[in-house]
Chains A and B, each alone.
Chain A
């Protein structure tokens, strides 16, 4: 930082002194936060990695036996597969989580774009729609899960009884996952729309005036100008939504129950192993796998978009 040429002796020394003092002060200001993060995230994460290598019970974590990677992949002498990577249910959960993530994030982006474009144009009632957009986002996830469980109910619900004529949509994993996607799309499309709208409003309006003068159609303007300029904002929103969708838990656990949720979401599978079945070692191994999947995606994202901090 202070590599530039030094015309006099005294000034840079003094500045270096101030900078050193500032750096020390910065450490003190950051220390409480760093300690808090270490206690609530760092140490528990270390424990999760630690227990993933052991066979251990949640109620008596002290009595454990070292397994190495046995929680991930382990076959007994009788040929019984015990590692979670050998459990078809885990792979069902992975498949369903990926399906959920890809479809819901795709739909949220498309619907979010449509809503943002509508709200960005001038019409009567625009302020109202802008406000209405915030409502699904403000509703707690558990509440929206219950609202939709009621809507899907086969003897009371508008969707379950009315549209589907009494089919129990949530009873079967294959149809339940689509029901979950519909709930997530309803709940978070408006969040996507908000982020896209913020991006739209930062686009220069004189550019569109020039395009209008040149006779470019709205359609051409959207594909040639809006979309390319919106790309950075759109990509960031997309990645944040995907990470959220990959760790989905609440809606599935509340609407489907612990057991079905464990074959529709990776987090549900991990929680069932860890808490309901008290398998601290196995559950930790699953948690480690989820952690690694998400971190790999984050690293790809950070390098692909060249995120920089100062």
Chain B
């Protein structure tokens, strides 16, 4: 505590070492992303340059114009938005019904249902891949975004139910009892009394589920052929020839897909941390 006075040398060494650690951590966390940003603004011919010359090489927007002109990428963005938004909306709706029942009602078999939902949220997607694939084929939904919307429910529903249940439990019971005394039905209570209170929780849960759906790769890769979502487009991004890896445009596409997520995450920082800990730690 009084190290600053009793032993200033030791105190300042400690401070310097601490800030050195802070700098190392910051560089470690941010550098790969910043390097990708930098690469996205460099011409293809400059990628060979040694680091210092690479940093000072002329900036160009050509990678971005190339990416946005790419028909696959445009379609990918469109399909990603549709698939992620629709599956998140469905799971928020169903999830809030379930969370209301699980968080507020007492009935037999409740912990059984919670166990099942927890089990679904941890089980590997590969375990349903074959079964879903035959189902997708049998219903003629191959390459149709609907197949992705439904298959994404497998992780968005357990997640929303789980997180929303823990939020519903924290809502004071008086609110709901007052509505019950007034003779409101459970659905009326849910929509008119609990939804307004749950709004922050719904936004947080929806955002986290959206991020998961936006990032999904295995199902998107398997259930579509030309109607790809953005992660698959980025993973398959190829150049003019088979051996040409167009790193500039790949990095530009990556930045385009990532920046909106980073902005959302930074804006909703506090909610996200509480949502993550509710979803992951209150096991």
Partner-B contacts on A (CB < 8 A): 1, 19, 22-23, 25-30, 32-34, 36-37, 39-41, 43-48, 51, 58, 61, 114-115, 118, 123, 125, 128-148, 150-151, 153, 155-156, 158, 162, 186, 190-191, 194-195, 198-199, 212, 233, 236-237, 239-240, 243, 246-247, 249-250, 253-254, 266-267, 270-271, 274-275, 280, 283-284, 287-288, 290-291, 294-295, 298, 305, 307-310
Closest to A293 in B: B124
9-residue interface stretch from B20-28, B66-74, B197-205 = B20-28
**Chain B residues near A212 (CB, 8 Å)?**
1
Interfacial residues of chain B within 6-50, with CB under 8 A of chain A in the complex = 18-19, 21-22, 25-26, 28-30, 32-33, 35-36, 39, 47-48
- B98 touching A129, Cβ below 8 Å: no
- B18 touching A123, Cβ below 8 Å: yes
A-B CB proximity, top 5 nearest: A44-B131, A47-B131, A44-B128, A29-B101, A23-B107
In the bound complex, CA of A37 to CA of B158 (Å) = 8
In the bound complex, CA of A22 to CA of B173 (Å) = 15
Does B277 lie at the interface of the complex (its beta carbon under 8 Å from any beta carbon of A)? yes
In the bound complex, CA of A58 to CA of B215 (Å) = 26
Do A135 and B132 contact each other (CB < 8 Å), given the known contacts A32-B97, A40-B151? no
**Chain A residues near B217 (CB, 8 Å)?**
141-142, 249-250, 253-254
**Chain B residues near A290 (CB, 8 Å)?**
124, 126-127
- B235 touching A115, Cβ below 8 Å: no
- A288 touching B127, Cβ below 8 Å: yes
- A247 touching B116, Cβ below 8 Å: no
Closest to A142 in B: B231
Task: Identify B128's interface contact among A36, A45, A246, CB under 8 A.
Answer: A45
8 residue pairs bridging A and B, Cβ less than 8 Å apart: A131-B266, A132-B30, A138-B265, A240-B283, A249-B217, A267-B218, A274-B133, A310-B114
Do A33 and B94 contact each other (CB < 8 Å), given the known contacts A43-B131, A143-B234? yes
Do A138 and B123 contact each other (CB < 8 Å), given the known contacts A33-B97, A198-B277? no
Task: Identify B22's interface contact among A34, A125, A144, A199, CB under 8 A.
Answer: A125
In the bound complex, CA of A115 to CA of B87 (Å) = 34
Does B77 lie at the interface of the complex (its beta carbon under 8 Å from any beta carbon of A)? no
**Chain B residues near A128 (CB, 8 Å)?**
26
**Chain A residues near B161 (CB, 8 Å)?**
33
- A138 touching B277, Cβ below 8 Å: no
Task: Identify B283's interface contact among A40, A307, A310, CB under 8 A.
Answer: A307
Task: Identify B107's interface contact among A22, A45, A138, A195, CB under 8 A.
Answer: A22
Closest to B91 in A: A36
In the bound complex, CA of A48 to CA of B113 (Å) = 22
**Chain B residues near A274 (CB, 8 Å)?**
126, 129-130, 133
**Chain A residues near B240 (CB, 8 Å)?**
none
Do A283 and B281 contact each other (CB < 8 Å), given the known contacts A138-B258, A140-B231, A198-B273? no
In the bound complex, CA of A181 to CA of B281 (Å) = 24
Among B35, B131, B137, B277, chain A packs the most CB atoms within 10 A around the CB of B131
In the bound complex, CA of A47 to CA of B138 (Å) = 13
Does B209 lie at the interface of the complex (its beta carbon under 8 Å from any beta carbon of A)? no
With contacts defined as CB atoms under 8 Å apart, how many contacts are there between chain A and chain B in the complex?
289
- A30 touching B101, Cβ below 8 Å: yes
**Chain A residues near B110 (CB, 8 Å)?**
26, 309-310
- B105 touching A22, Cβ below 8 Å: yes
- B262 touching A249, Cβ below 8 Å: no
Task: Identify A158's interface contact among B1, B51, B106, B283, CB under 8 A.
Answer: B51
**Chain A residues near B277 (CB, 8 Å)?**
194-195, 198
- A143 touching B25, Cβ below 8 Å: no
Closest to B185 in A: A25
Does B61 lie at the interface of the complex (its beta carbon under 8 Å from any beta carbon of A)? no
- A141 touching B269, Cβ below 8 Å: no
- B157 touching A47, Cβ below 8 Å: no
Does B62 lie at the interface of the complex (its beta carbon under 8 Å from any beta carbon of A)? no
In the bound complex, CA of A133 to CA of B29 (Å) = 7
**Chain B residues near A26 (CB, 8 Å)?**
101, 105, 107, 110
- B97 touching A30, Cβ below 8 Å: yes
- B48 touching A45, Cβ below 8 Å: no
Closest to A148 in B: B32
- B132 touching A23, Cβ below 8 Å: no
Does B206 lie at the interface of the complex (its beta carbon under 8 Å from any beta carbon of A)? no
Do A140 and B258 contact each other (CB < 8 Å), given the known contacts A129-B26, A150-B251? yes
Do A147 and B254 contact each other (CB < 8 Å), given the known contacts A44-B131, A123-B18? yes
- A271 touching B98, Cβ below 8 Å: no
- B26 touching A287, Cβ below 8 Å: no
In the bound complex, CA of A198 to CA of B148 (Å) = 34
Beyond the given A23-B107, A37-B157, A253-B235, could you list 12 further A-B residue pairs with CB under 8 A, ordered by the A residue number? A22-B107, A30-B113, A41-B128, A41-B154, A45-B123, A47-B131, A134-B265, A150-B247, A198-B277, A237-B280, A287-B127, A309-B110
Task: Identify B234's interface contact among A22, A41, A146, A153, CB under 8 A.
Answer: A146
